[in-house]
Amino acid sequence: MRIGFGYDVHRLVEGRPLVLGGVRVPHQWGLDGHSDADVLLHAIADALLGAAAMGDLGVHFPDTDERWRDADSLMLLGEVGRKVEEAGYHIVNIDATVALQRPRLRPYIDTMRHNIAEVLDLDPGQVSVKATTTERLGFVGTEAGAAASAVCLINQR
Ligand code: MG
């Protein structure tokens, strides 16, 4: 068994959709980035790659590559899952936390878990997503951005 950890941050800006866990969350700001900037899926992808010691998302999908402009991060996560599987592992479970001051994410959590499980060919029971504010402290609290961290366990086949 191997453990992986991922962490990501994106800036909140005007004129972008807020996409988290593959769900378009209604909000006045969205996350800025080369892809759809889905901070939650990026942290999960980095946890999976980290568990397999296969680098990070930037190594596999460079943000200098026009192919990944506004890319659907669910598709990128699915690719990461395939790469980790091809390296001889299967995913045991994922646990992730998104830090965002507003809006409340509770109504969208189960859809996020379902989306993640679907692209990684997992049962939703293997995928945990949680959300927290930071009590108005730091860059999350001032709504300058959002952060996400994730851990996962993978097993050698
Ligand atoms: Mg990112």
Which regions of the chain are under pLDDT 50?
none
Interval 129-150: pLDDT, tens: 999 999 999 999 999 999 999 9
Å from CA of 10 to ligand 1 middle: 6
The number of angstroms, rounded, from the C-alpha of 23 to the middle of its chain's C-alpha atoms is 11
DSSP-based three-state secondary structure for 101: coil
Q: For residues 51 and 80, what is the distance between their CA atoms, to the nearest angstrom?
A: 12
> For the whole model, what pTM was predicted?
0.97
Å from CA of 85 to ligand 1 middle: 22
Å from CA of 155 to ligand 1 middle: 25
Q: For residues 34 and 70, what is the distance between their CA atoms, to the nearest angstrom?
A: 6
pLDDT score recorded for residue 62: 87
pLDDT score recorded for residue 69: 83
Å from CA of 132 to ligand 1 middle: 18
The number of angstroms, rounded, from the C-alpha of 150 to the middle of its chain's C-alpha atoms is 8
